[in-house]
Amino acid sequence: MDLKQLLNKEQYEAVCHKDGPLLILAGAGSGKTRVITYRIANLISAYGVEPGHILAVTFTNKAAGEMKERIRSVIGKKAEEIWMSTFHSLGCRLLRQHADVLGYTKAFSIYDEDDRERLVKECMHQAKVSDKDMKPNQIIRYISDIKNQLLSPAQFEEIASDYNNKIVSRVYGIYEEKMKRNNAMDFDDLIKKPIELFDARRDILDAYREKFRYILIDEYQDINNSQYTLVSMLAEKYRNICVVGDDDQSIYRFRGADITNILEFEDDYKDAKVIRLEQNYRSTKNILRAAHSVIRNNKGRKDKELWTENNEGGKIVFYYTDDEIAESEAVLHEVDRLMRVSDVSLRQMAVFYRTNAQSRVIEDRFRRAGLPYKLVGGISFYGRMEIKDLLAYLRIVSNPHDIISFKRIINVPPRGIGDASIDRVEENAMEKGISFIDGLLDAASVADIKDSVKNTLVRFGTFIKHLHDNKSNMKLQDIMKEIISRTGYLEYWMKDTSVKARDRVENIKELVSALSEYEEGNAGASLEDFLNQVALISDVDKMDDKAEAVTLMTIHSAKGLEFDVVFLTGMDEGLFPHKNSIDEPGGIEEERRLAYVGITRARKKLYLFSAVSRRQYGTKKLGQISRYINEIPPELLEHKGRMPVKTVEEKYLKGSIEDTISDMEPEFDMPVDVAPTYKPGQKVKHKKMGAGVIVKIEPHGDDFKLTVNFKAHGKKVLSANHAGLEKI
């Protein structure tokens, strides 16, 4: 393996670095995956490092799988010994081995957001907190932030001073108690609990420090405080930590990501070697120029500028459309044209948007046109109601303490068991210190429950206990088949004649196939292994790269991906940058990094879209072109559709009214609820001042202020209702 032939100078330097801390500042499209792959392979083949002494952490299972496959192609079967996973998969793996130290069993459940919300609602009820005080999803966000700060309920209670924090403190304590009782972890726990484990058992920490002598962390700019702490603990002994990232692509602050982790790496490790990867292999020169012209406006960044030996490429196409419908039709038109004229495949095209809600109009237009698309971030197979029901059955077979899963399916299909009866069983179980499943078996001793209901509860508990006791001797698909058969779940949906029910029946059958397929590909895998995989899979992990369809996704989901053609829609002030970010400290810079990520996903062609107006809550509102478009030099842009007002003004001032373009549109200063009668760029005539062009419209109470550039009198501001303008 001649690395000098395979890598550029900086890549080679990064790959050959052996001991000590290393910071690789890898710009978009600079070959960072290639560098990580060859670095790991080189550590093993050239330096004799045992594969089992290497820990590599990525942000998606998809990336981890692809990277391991690449390494396997270089060094063979030894690649299997490398610990390569996401942060959450790493935490899960550690906890499956040592959960008992923290008072959990190794069969703990992993709660998703739906499960957390169900539990938080229970905790709020117990804490006498109304959703008028705080919404459950707000409390969930607070709890995530608290866990990221590594605070226990008692520690948080001490510092909780304002109204919201005190409310959250009451709920948080109950939430943690119930999570422990349910033998359950949430996603934040998968990072926080290993840290608690290492704090409690220094010998376990020392063992893993000895094991992980070389640590590589990808996307380091996106790690949060708890992830930073976990990595720091593991790296402390050997300090052979290599982090790869790009501060310009830090876009997950809403998840707790802290950009200072990468900006201050050299403070944490004074002897760190820093290598910059600035040669881009992905995009054209024009795309990179546009990206740099945007990101250079950020103050909190390390100085760097990507360059490429790729061709100039075409200009960035800027579409300024009437509304979101016209925007989606323009996207559809360009997709069709690129297919026919340029022979671009559908799978090499992607449409990005800032929020998931924006996809509706685009999806609608694609469906009408019969154009294939795949939606990333929609309801996945494992997120469908019937699949989540059956997974809940599997979870209680694995973990009989999981009350949330019990409650989800105790009446699915309907068994005539009321909430009051379930509450009494739970109370009895808590009083006797037994699991919920043992509580079901003990239902006969519970007062205030009908005998028929008691019998049903005992039968259900007996069935689940039978599966739990025999799960290690049964195939996964057989467990599921018995659940479906004994509960009548499939029959229940087959009796329903609706189209939706037919889809559910097919999905149920597909789940059995999925279990069979999983067993074939993972010999000796347990029920817990399967549940781990399902719980930890992300939207990007589920993408079908080979499907001949246009990809629709948020820009956040597009991180790490690339396409020949990218359509970046909804670039309006208030939408992108999002209105929630504008007044937040660092919000505009975070959104600008997001724009940078979106731009740099494009290999050959980039389209940007903004609209004069968009419908919000059923009402059309005028908008303003995103500042990020205005940061791109005009010579890099090719305009299509309408044109911004500054072009109108510049053109008018240099020539005559006859030289202006009548359909040009302005940058509006603020949104308004109702479009005025007059149109920006429209020619008008005034009784005294003569001919002119409307260059700006601003709301003014129940009226509108019109800025009109008159040929004889210059710019004047007039009332739309009282100006008496005549349209030319």
Q: HEC states along 375-393?
A: ECCCCCHHHCHHHHHHHHH
State yes or no: is 386 an active-site residue: no
Cis, bond preceding 413 (omega within 30 deg of 0): yes
Residue 2: how many CB atoms within 10 A of its CB?
A: 6
> Kind and range of the H or E element at 707?
strand 703-710
Q: Does 219 participate in catalysis according to the annotation?
A: yes
Chain length of the chain: 728
pLDDT at position 619, please? Answer: 67
Nearest CA among 145, 148, 252 for reference residue 192 = 148
Note if 249 is an active site residue.
Answer: yes
The C-alpha atoms of residue 221 and residue 262 are separated, in whole angstroms, by 5
CB contact at 8 A, 567 and 354: no
- The catalytic residue among 10, 32, 592, 679 is 32
What residues of the chain score a pLDDT lower than 50? Answer: 645-676
Quickly tell me which residue has 């001649």 as its tokens: 2
Q: What is the dihedral of CA 586, 592, 597, 601, to 10 degrees?
A: 170
pLDDT for residue 623: 85
- What is the CB-side half-sphere exposure of residue 684 using CA atoms within 13 A? 26
Give 81's DSSP letter.
G
Tokens 């879209």, residue located: 609
CA distances (Å), 384 to each of 202, 310, 388, 500, in order? 42, 44, 6, 11
Please name which of 185, 196, 16 lies closest in space to residue 105, comparing C-alpha atoms. Answer: 185
What is the spatial distance between Cα 260 and Cα 223, in angstroms, rounded to a whole number? 10
Structure tokens at 218: 């990808």
pLDDT value for 130:
92
Percent share of the chain, pLDDT over 90: 61
Query: DSSP label at 574?
Result: B
Q: What is the pLDDT of residue 524?
A: 86
Residue 544 CB contacts under 8 Å (≥ 6 apart), including other chains: 374
Tally Cβ neighbours within 10 Å of residue 506.
Answer: 12
Question: Would the CA dihedral through 160, 164, 167, 169 be positive or negative?
Answer: negative
* Tokens of residue 474, six digits: 């049964």
Q: Indicate if 456 belongs to the active site.
A: no
CB neighbourhood size of 640 (10 A): 16
**569 labelled catalytic:** no
Give the Cα separation of 203 and 29 in Å (integer): 41
In our burial notation (b when 16+ CB lie closer than 10 A, e otherwise), range 410-429 reads bebeeeebeeebbebbbebb
What would the pLDDT profile of 153-184 be if each residue is shown by its tens digit?
A: 999 999 998 999 999 999 999 999 999 999 99
| Residue 279: both structure tokens together | 């040669």
Residue 576, φ and ψ in degrees, nearest 5: -155, 95
3-class DSSP assignment, residue 512: helix
Task: Give the model's pLDDT for residue 61.
Answer: 84
Nearest to 421 by CA among 442, 446, 396, 393: 446
- Please tell me the pTM assigned to this model: 0.78
Q: Looking at residue 187, what is its pLDDT? A: 95
Q: Which of 601, 605, 627, 696 is catalytic?
A: 601
CB 692 within 8 A of CB 648: no
Q: What gap in Å lies between CA 58 and CA 88, rounded to an integer?
A: 10
Residue 624 φ/ψ, nearest 5 degrees: -140, 135
Query: Considering 219, 246, 247, 528, which one is annotated as catalytic?
Result: 219
Look up 32 and say whether it is catalytic.
yes
The helix/strand/coil state of 26 is strand
What is the tally of helices (H) and strands (E) in the chain? 30, 22
Give the three-state DSSP class for 217: strand
Helices 163-181, 113-126: axis angle to 10 degrees equals: 110
682 torsion bin: left (phi>0), alpha (psi -120 to 50), beta (else): beta
Q: Which phi and psi angles does 219 have, rounded to 5°? A: 55, 45
CA angle 511, 437, 382 (to 5 degrees): 20
Facing residues of 125 across strands?
A: none
Of 10, 188, 218, 402, the active-site residue reads 218
Angle between helices 87-98 and 527-536 (to 10 degrees): 150
Give start and end residues of each alpha helix (H) in 48-135: 61-75, 87-98, 113-126
